[in-house]
């Protein structure tokens, strides 16, 4: 299996961008989206998590069935696998990512 590397960013920008690279298959894919006004009220962790969810759902044709690494500049996203906090929105988003085989 190949390792994919995905990087994303949300921050306070109006646009989020994702890059998907594969060393084995030698390709690079980029996608971006303007963030909805509703997401402006989210906490930073929620914005970053939403960006990850959007990226994986957008690129699911390329990601399903492959092991890949999620590369992010936001350290709190590393707790997604061992989430102790009961944030219903983030938990629901994380559960929707269960079909993907990834590490942060």
The whole-number pLDDT of residue 41 equals 78
- pLDDT, mean of each 10-residue run, the chain (104 residues): 45 52 60 62 78 81 80 67 69 83 77
- Residues contacting residue 49 through CB under 8 Å, at least 6 positions apart: 77, 80, 90, 93, 94
Contact at 8 Å (CB) between 53 and 42?
A: no
Say what the pLDDT of residue 6 is: 46
Residue 38 to residue 84: CA distance in whole angstroms: 26
| Assigned token pair, 10 | 């949300």
């Amino acid at each position: 299996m190949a390792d994919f590397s995905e990087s994303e960013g949300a921050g306070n920008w109006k646009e989020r961008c994702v890059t998907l690279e594969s060393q084995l298959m030698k390709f690079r894919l980029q996608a971006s989206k303007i963030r909805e006004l509703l997401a402006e009220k989210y906490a930073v962790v929620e914005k970053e998590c939403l960006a990850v969810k959007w990226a994986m759902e957008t690129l699911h044709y390329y990601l399903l069935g492959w092991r890949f690494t999620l590369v992010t500049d936001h350290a709190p996203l590393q707790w997604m696998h061992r989430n102790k906090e009961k944030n219903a929105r983030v938990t629901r988003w994380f559960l929707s990512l269960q079909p993907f085989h990834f590490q942060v």
